Structures are given as structure tokens and as C-alpha cells.
Amino acid sequence: MKREITDSLAALDPEKDYEEIMYLLQCYEFPWDYERALEFALFRTYAVPSISALLYKTGEFVSRPRKRYDDTELILYEITENGFDSERGRAALRRMNQMHGRFPIANEDFLYVLSTFVFEPIRWIEHFGWRLLRENEKLGIFQFYSELGRRMNIKDIPKDINSFEDYNIEYGRTHFRYAEVNYHIGSATRDLLLGFYLPKILWPLGKPFINAMMDDPLCEAFGFYKVPVPFQRFVKNSLKLRGKPLRFFPERRQPRLGTQVKRPTYPGGYKIEELGTFKKPDSVLKGTMEND
């Protein structure tokens, strides 16, 4: 089956065409996979106490997790869909830097979050996508987020993809550790994802499926229980099976634009300059760990 978009991607140069590579991968080739991968990329950042503690202190993520999720997605989609130097892309980047500028975030934490946006989608697609990524596509993803990092004033971004992956792996190995704030942020995120698919009464049945997608260090950092290895294999093999028939489907003729998805957070639409606004509650929600 001829695939014009897939074939066109093969001819793109990751050094200069990285914006087009990202747009075609995220909006045409792997829209569902990309969104799921970025959700789990966020999970990995919340396993770091210095990152989860900052989110917890705002009170926003626990009290309004859907808004925080939508704001993050929309800013990234605005940049991917419109380009760095477009009017909307510049506005989204400006808004992102304004949001982050209010907090004392360490450069190494910024760098790790950036690395998860590079490598979690690559890993997800390698495991569950309908086809494998080409080398120029992986490098295009790396170049896109390296450029994003430079425009966010993130320092010491590795010059090549292998060094950046080494940083990603080593940072997780040395910084993942259990903290109660991890549990609260991780639980709020997991409940949010379950709410996309299940009524609340069925969330306890859905938790094992999300836990099954997490490796042991990630589960331990959140204080989540580990599901049995056979169940992990069942969940992951089911996702792999999903990808197999997709290779025989006709390619997408229209882009799946994340900025056009209807979101309950913004039923009447949104303004870029209003994304990420929040009102800190008088007291941050506190709770105790339940039997997870």
C-alpha cells in the first residue's frame, strides 16, 4: 500500500526539517501513540521529588489536574502545529516561559523533562507503533526538542541524541525515589487518565492497567503496587496487537490537531495568553496514602 506521508518523511533532513518531521509524526502518522507516550513521559517527571514537590505546592495539579494537563498539551500542540516562528508558536513559547519563570526550577530538572519528551515517544512507538521509526525521524524529534530547549533557555543540552539518552537514563536512575508528593501527583494523574476511559466507579479496575505500563523504579517512586509480570505482558502485548492491523489501514488524509480537540476545560475555546493561569488555594490539599 502506497503511503505518501510515510514516504515523504523518509526524504526529510532532521537538521533542517525537524519541524515538519514532528508535525507529520504527531498529527498524521502516530497521533494516538504520541499522546499516550507524552502522558507517560509526564509520569516519569513526577517520580522526581524536586519536580513533584513544586507542582504540589501550587495546589493546581491536585485540585485541577485536567486543566494542568490541557494547558501543557495545548502549549506543545500550538508549537508543533504552527511552528516555532509562527505568531501562535511564539505566543505559546512566551506563555510557557512566563509560567516557568515564576518558579525556581533547576536546569537539570528542566533538561530531564525535555529528555522525556524526546525518548518516551520514541520508545513507545518502537514498542507499540504500527511501524518502526526511521533514524532521520528519531533525529528530527531530538532536533525539535533541542530547539525548544534552547528557546526555553535550558542550558547544557547534549549535542547528540545518544548523549542525551544517556543523560535521560542516568538522571532517572539517580533521582527516582519515593516521596509522598510523588504519590499525590502520580495518583491525581492516574485518576485523570482513567477518567478519560472509565466511570469513576470502575477506576479501581483500571489502575492495574496503568501500573502495568510502569517499570519497577517508577512504581516504587510513586508508592504504587506492582502488578504481576504475566499481567504486565498481557497489557503490553495487547497494545502491540493494536498496532499490527493499523499498517494495513489507509493513511490519514487530514491531520489530527490537538488544538482542535474539544476539551471540557475550555468549552468555549481558549486564548494562549490565558493557558497556565491558576489561583493557589488557601491550603494545599493533603491526604494519606490509600491501599493502592
Give the pLDDT score at 218: 94
Cell 480537540 found at: 261
Q: Has residue 167 been placed in a domain?
A: yes
Contact 183, 287 (CB under 8 A): no
Contact 207, 292 (CB under 8 A): yes
Q: Has residue 253 been placed in a domain?
A: no
DSSP state of 160: S
Q: Has residue 273 been placed in a domain?
A: no
Residue in 28, 9, 38 with CA at minimum distance from that of residue 124:
38
Q: Has residue 274 been placed in a domain?
A: no
Q: Has residue 286 been placed in a domain?
A: no
| Residues contacting 132, CB < 8 A, separation 6+ | 125, 126
Q: Has residue 267 been placed in a domain?
A: no
Residue in 143, 102, 132, 190 with CA at minimum distance from that of residue 12:
143
Give the pLDDT score at 67: 86
Count of structural domains, the chain: 1
Q: Has residue 289 been placed in a domain?
A: no
d(CA 129, CA 141): 16
The 3-state secondary structure of 64-130 reads: CHHHHHHHHHHHHHHHHHHCCCCHHHHHHHHHHHHHHHCCCCCHHHHHHHHHHHHHHHHHHHHHHCC
Q: Is 291 helix (H, G, I), strand (E, B) or coil?
A: coil
Give the count of beta carbons closer than 10 Å to the beta carbon of residue 98.
13
Contact 226, 211 (CB under 8 A): yes
Mean pLDDT in order along the chain per 10 residues (292 residues): 89 97 97 93 91 81 80 94 96 92 86 96 96 97 97 95 97 94 92 92 95 94 95 96 90 93 89 76 42 54
Domain enclosing residue 17, as ranges: 4-244
Q: Has residue 252 been placed in a domain?
A: no
pTM given for the model: 0.91
Give the pLDDT score at 78: 96
| Residues contacting 151, CB < 8 A, separation 6+ | 84, 93
